[in-house]
Copies of this chain bind each other. A is one copy, B any other.
Amino acid sequence: MINIQDNLHIVDNIIKTALAEDMPYGDATTACVIEGNPVSRAVFVAKQQGVVAGLDVAERVFKLLDAGIIFKKRVADGMRAEKGDAIAEVGGNTSAILKGERTALNFMQRLSGIATRTSQYCEKVKGLPVKITDTRKTTPGLRLLEKYAVKAGGGYNHRFSLSDGILIKDNHIKAAGGIKKAVELARGKAPHTARIEVETGTLEQVVEAVESGADIIMLDNMDTALMKQAVEIIGGRALIEASGNVSLDTVYEIALTGVDLISVGELTHSVKAMDISLKFIDDKSC
């Protein structure tokens, strides 16, 4: 699984941008009100059930503000927390904790929201030979983190960017003059390390895609009856991805059609933040 600690050369920049955005000229309230150098201890508490993701990001927020902050995880990313569970503790300089609180929560709540939603989709298709995947419909600037959260929730990643996967869509097909020609062009020029995926909307296109030798065939916005026919036509000659307005209500039925992958834009484009709060506690012995 993608690891936050292994990607600090990217993640630190994201966090620094967030801190500069929230503190172009410091934390005015804390600077005025907190006197001396008090220390505090506080606990991140889940205020609803969910799957946690982003603890390493939160830790890094505090470490970048003050290397001396102690951050202790009580659960690991990918684990379910119940309402009321302590999911991590943070201790040290009070000002640093207050300054980092909102930024850390903004990351954790969003990433846990993604992980939680993903886990709900995975739950629906449990036991079926199908993978739930994300899309490129991520928040600009946060793709690495959001795709990490999808994995934490039990899902799988689709391509990361336009650079690392070949996905021939409607407009590429039109421009190239047909699926066959488009696949041929891609096969000839793309790195041999990339599989070639073709988007299809009709059974005719599915047939053409199979015959062109596409490695993966996306069934875009088909109903499940059509999907079943497509799966039969393909007959194992390509991986099959179902795509288009998938919901928690429809995912199981889609999975039953026999597709290999179901990609869900909602996982990252319409996130409901998981409710988490930071509670300061009196006992400061961390």
Copies of this protein in the complex: 6
Interchain CB contact (< 8 A) of A162 among B30, B35, B186: B30
> With A32-B166, A175-B38 in contact, is A191–B141 under 8 Å at CB?
no
Asked if B185 and A193 make an inter-chain contact with CB atoms under 8 angstroms apart, the answer reads no
Interface residues of A in 10-37 (CB under 8 A from B): 10, 14-35
Asked if B29 and A162 make an inter-chain contact with CB atoms under 8 angstroms apart, the answer reads yes
Asked if A161 and B24 make an inter-chain contact with CB atoms under 8 angstroms apart, the answer reads yes
**Total A residues in contact with B, Cβ cutoff 8 Å:** 106
- Chain B residues with CB below 8 A from A19, complex form: 9
Asked if B162 and A28 make an inter-chain contact with CB atoms under 8 angstroms apart, the answer reads yes
Which of A77-85, A130-138, A223-231, A246-254 lines the interface with chain B?
A130-138
- The CA-CA distance from A200 to B239 in the complex, in Å, is 26
Asked if A103 and B195 make an inter-chain contact with CB atoms under 8 angstroms apart, the answer reads no
- Chain B residues with CB below 8 A from A124, complex form: none
Interface residues of A in 177-218 (CB under 8 A from B): 182, 185-186, 188-195, 197, 215-216
Asked if A17 and B140 make an inter-chain contact with CB atoms under 8 angstroms apart, the answer reads yes
Distance (whole angstroms) from the CB of A11 to the closest CB of chain B = 10
- Chain B residues with CB below 8 A from A163, complex form: 22-28, 160, 164
9 extra interface residue pairs, beta carbon distance < 8 Å, beyond A28-B194, A193-B197, A194-B194: A21-B161, A24-B24, A32-B189, A33-B186, A40-B175, A98-B171, A109-B137, A192-B241, A194-B195
Q: Which 5 A-B pairs have the closest CB atoms?
A: A164-B164, A18-B140, A165-B193, A25-B163, A27-B162
A interface list, Cβ under 8 A from B: 1-3, 5-10, 14-35, 38, 40, 64-66, 94-96, 98-99, 102-103, 105-107, 109-110, 113, 131, 133, 136-144, 147, 156-172, 174-176, 182, 185-186, 188-195, 197, 215-216, 239, 241, 260-261, 265, 269-273, 280
